Amino acid sequence: MGKSSKDKRDIYYRFAKEEGWRARSAYKLMQIDDEFQILKGVKRAVDLCAAPGSWSQVLSRRLLGRKSDDEPGEGTSAEGEAAKIVAVDLQPMSPIEGVIQLKGDITEERTAYEIINHFDGCKADIVVCDGAPDVTGLHSLDEYMQSQLILSAFNIATFVLKPGGDFVAKIFRAKNASLLYVQMKQFFKEVYAAKPKASRQSSCEAFIVCRNYQPPEGYVPTMINRMTNMKGYDSYVSSLTDGHLRGIAKFVACGDLSGWDSDRSYSLDLQAERKTLELNGVPIPNATFPEKYVYRELQPVQPPTEPAYKIAVQLKKERKLARTSDAQLQVPRNSANGSE
């Protein structure tokens, strides 16, 4: 791939670098907030699965009015009150002023208590989660792991969220999404499936936006994923697909619909791009067209501080990394997929 081909291919990646966001996903949270105003009046926010930190940057900028990651001082919300942000991840991340970092696992109950401790025993106004487990490449397993992570985020939310609070999490609109909507509707007054413009249309990624937390009376927070552990789970899932009890969440497309399209490739010369769009009668994004494109070396915007692949890189440098031999990689003839 050429030096700037990724910049050409992905307009949000490019803007993220230009505007100093640690990941392009910052735009997804901002577009969700622009649509739902989820950050209005928030004094305590929790960012689950936060590294490398672009969602925490959005929280810090929108709740504390900061313009950069290292701007010192207390920081206040638009209403002039100090807001507290707690970010949790398995991985450490570079500091962001005003964001308390917690290295922890969102599948563990103690993480919930650590968050509450940082809020001096108070509950949060919002919990957001852009979590993703490491991908194995086995589609069903990946989908299952993702759904378990969302349920863990939700379980943490049941410990830390105040009644009336909001919960936003990344989901995949896969076969069990209906079940998730049904479950969320037991706990929140409003449930939406949001698709920000910065999330590729070609991806089944979406965000569940759950508003006004009202747990069932007497509900005791737990980390046990009740839905997937309950007796008769499989028949329950199939009953959802019959239409009976079907979980449907209102689908909301967020962001300027004639805005930058995450599935398109744009020329590095955006002024020229504007003229081409005009000539072809394609709607022109309302966002500004920078005069000149400047390639920035830093890729990605914020590299992970402790990447999972760090040991492998070190071993490779020392020529100690075991290599899979070609013989091991060969697909045997008459293998199950019958491709040979």
Is position 137 annotated in a ligand binding site? no
* Annotated catalytic residue 40: no
Q: What is the 3-state secondary structure (H, E, C) of 210-270?
A: EEEECCCCCCCCCCCCHHHHCCCHHHHHHHHHCCCCCCCCEEEEECCCCCCCCCCCCCCCH
For ligand SAM, which residue of 78, 90, 100, 102 counts as binding (CB under 6 A)? Answer: 90
User: By CB under 6 A, which span of 48-56, 74-82, 204-212, 233-241 interacts with ligand SAM?
Assistant: 48-56
Is position 105 annotated in a ligand binding site? yes
* 99 contacts 60 by C-beta, under 8 angstroms: yes
Smallest distance, Å, CB 129 to ligand SAM? Answer: 8
Which residues, numbered 271-330, are part of the site for ligand SAM (CB under 6 A)? none
- Of 30 and 191, the one with the shorter C-beta distance to ligand SAM is 30
For ligand SAM, which residue of 11, 16, 23, 45 counts as binding (CB under 6 A)? Answer: 23
For ligand SAM, which residue of 25, 183, 199, 262 counts as binding (CB under 6 A)? Answer: 25
Smallest distance, Å, CB 55 to ligand SAM? Answer: 4
Q: Exactly one of 170, 197, 275, 320 is catalytic; which is it? A: 170
Does position 196 interact with ligand SAM (CB under 6 A)? The reply is no
Which residues, numbered 121-140, are part of the site for ligand SAM (CB under 6 A)? 130-133
CA–CA separation, 188 and 212 (whole Å): 5
- How many residues lie near ligand SAM (CB under 6 A)? 22
List the Cα angle 41/42/45 in 5-degree steps. Answer: 170
Smallest distance, Å, CB 201 to ligand SAM? Answer: 19
CA–CA separation, 82 and 77 (whole Å): 6
CA–CA separation, 127 and 87 (whole Å): 10
- Of 83 and 106, the one with the shorter C-beta distance to ligand SAM is 106
Would you please indicate which residues are annotated as catalytic (active-site) residues?
A: 170
Residues annotated within a binding site: 53, 55, 89, 105, 130
Binding-site ranges for ligand SAM (CB under 6 A) = 22-23, 25, 49-55, 88-91, 105-107, 130-133, 149
